[in-house]
């Protein structure tokens, strides 16, 4: 059953993540923590945590890992009515090391996964639910020809369906053909109502890492609204014609993975509730700070009451 009234729906793959304790490595650790992760799910978890309605459009295998993904998404408050169970393909899996010096090593086992078989039909299932925003990343487009067709369908048909598009390039060298990912990101910019882009990605896609130049280049490419994520240096957002720097709210960094997704979820949720770009960036930064202070991709999100109170601080009061 397709759920109506969703604020944000992510289009992408959620996988099971296994990783050793911080400081241990895959080669020698006797224990692995089991988590669920995926850029779009992480973003939607942040949206749901602040009190908006979020959903995931994806495919999982008819296996225990697929059940775990769906259970975890629901536990995060993310609707799974748009997640199909594929009896012929497995759920994706990846392994991660986070070393004491901060180095990350990621090993993917997602080739031939259920989500890699997504196609335009999945995109149209999503649009039929008429969410306010669809969040999509370059990761999904890089999973294979079917997901790429799905992403292109979404971006081509979203506006006619009354759905805005939030695009995060999320360049991933581990998925291969980085030049192809960059070229595709440039192609998709004109369809983005919201662009959530990192500094290094901006350098590769827009040819500059200078914040003011990034915003100019994105606007010239057809982007509606841009926010520039700068990692430990915080972010940059627009304030009319001014580009404003917001320092990071993070004081402790255990694992940076998931921080950008939490930022994006907070930013989109706040904008949907009428917050200014400055307020939306503030909320995104607060959510990201909690996530990077914990080992899991969403474990550091604040509890629901705290998250909703943070959102309330940036949403204009009704007169």
The packing angle between helices 259-272 and 304-314, to 10°, is 50
Cα–Cα distance for residue pair 22/93, rounded to 1 Å:
19
Of all residues in the chain, the percent with pLDDT exceeding 90 is: 76
Q: 237-253 pLDDT, tens per residue?
A: 999 889 999 999 888 88
* CA dist., res. 75 & res. 57, Å (int): 16
Q: Is 60 exceeded by the pLDDT of residue 117? A: yes
Residue 316 lies in a domain: no
In a domain, 318, yes or no: no
- Best CA proximity match to 5, nearest among 123, 164, 132, 125: 132
pTM of the model: 0.93
By percentage, how much of the chain surpasses pLDDT 70?
97
Q: What is the pLDDT, as a whole number, of residue 102? A: 60
Which CATH number fits the domain that encloses residue 100? 3.40.1190.20
Question: What is the average pLDDT value for the chain, to the nearest integer?
Answer: 92
Mean pLDDT over residues 128-153, rounded? 95
Q: What is the DSSP letter of 234?
A: -
Written as six digits, the tokens of 279 are 């307020």
- Cα distance between residue 26 and residue 303, in whole Å: 31
- Whether the CB-CB separation of 211 and 254 falls below 8 Å is answered with no
* Average confidence (pLDDT) over 257-273: 94
Structure confidence at residue 185 as a pLDDT band (50, 70, 90): very high
DSSP string, 132-193: SEEEEEHHHHTT-HHHHHHHHHHHHHTGGGT-EEEEE----GGGS-HHHHHHHHHHHGGG-S
Instruction: Give the per-residue pLDDT at 79.
Output: 97
Q: Does residue 190 register a pLDDT over 70?
A: yes
Range of the domain at 66: 8-307
pLDDT of 1 reads 44
Of the candidates 86, 168, 261, 297, the residue annotated as catalytic is 261
312 located within any domain: no
Per-residue model confidence (pLDDT) at position 97? 81
Question: For residue 197, what pLDDT band results from cuts at 50, 70 and 90?
Answer: very high
Phi, psi of 198 (to 5 degrees): -85, 160
How confident is the model over 57-82, as pLDDT tens digits? 999 999 999 999 999 999 999 999 99
Q: Residue 317 domain-assigned? A: no
- Looking at residue 313, its pLDDT comes to 96
Task: Give the SS3 label for residue 83.
Answer: strand
Mean pLDDT value of segment 279-284 = 97
Per-residue pLDDT at 99? 66
237 within a domain of the structure (yes/no): yes
For residue 64, being part of any structural domain is answered with yes
pLDDT band at 254 (very low <50, low <70, confident <90, very high): confident
Q: Within a domain: residue 163?
A: yes
Judged on CB neighbours under 10 Å (0-12, 13-18, 19+), 30 is exposed
pLDDT of residue 100: 62
* Residue 261 annotated among the catalytic residues of the structure: yes
Asked whether residue 314 is assigned to any structural domain, the reply reads no
Number of domains in the chain: 1
The rounded distance, in Å, linking the Cα atoms of 296 and 304 is 17
Quick one: pLDDT at residue 98? Answer: 67
What pLDDT, on the 0 to 100 scale, is given for residue 2? 46
């Amino acid at each position: 059953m397709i759920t109506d009234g969703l604020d944000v729906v992510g289009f992408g793959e959620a996988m099971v993540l296994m990783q050793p304790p911080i400081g241990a490595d895959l080669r020698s650790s006797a224990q692995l923590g089991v988590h669920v992760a995926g850029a779009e799910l992480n973003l939607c978890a942040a949206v749901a945590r602040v009190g908006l309605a979020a959903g995931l459009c994806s495919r999982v295998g008819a296996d225990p890992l697929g059940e775990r993904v769906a259970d975890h998404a629901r536990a995060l408050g993310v609707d799974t009515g748009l997640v199909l169970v594929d009896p012929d393909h497995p759920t994706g899996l990846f392994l991660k090391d986070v070393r004491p010096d901060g180095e990350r090593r990621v090993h993917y086992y997602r080739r031939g996964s259920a989500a890699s078989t997504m196609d335009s039909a999945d995109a149209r299932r999503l649009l039929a639910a008429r969410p306010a925003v669809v969040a999509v990343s370059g990761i999904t487009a890089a999973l294979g020809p079917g997901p790429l067709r799905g992403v292109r369908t979404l971006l081509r048909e979203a506006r006619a369906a009354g759905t805005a598009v939030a695009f995060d390039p999320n360049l991933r060298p581990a998925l291969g053909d980085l030049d192809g990912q960059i070229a595709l990101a440039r192609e998709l910019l004109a369809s983005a109502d919201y662009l959530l882009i990192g500094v290094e990605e901006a350098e590769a896609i827009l040819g500059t890492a200078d914040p003011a130049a990034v915003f100019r280049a994105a606007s010239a490419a057809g982007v509606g609204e841009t926010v520039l994520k700068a990692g430990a240096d915080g972010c940059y957002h627009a304030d009319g014609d001014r580009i404003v720097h917001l320092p990071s709210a993070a004081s402790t960094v255990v694992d940076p993975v998931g921080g950008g997704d939490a930022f994006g979820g907070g930013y989109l949720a706040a904008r949907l509730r009428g917050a200014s770009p400055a307020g939306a960036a503030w909320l995104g930064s607060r959510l990201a700070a909690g996530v990077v202070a914990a080992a899991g991709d969403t474990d550091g999100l604040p509890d629901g009451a705290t998250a909703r109170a943070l959102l309330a601080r940036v949403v204009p009061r009704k007169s």
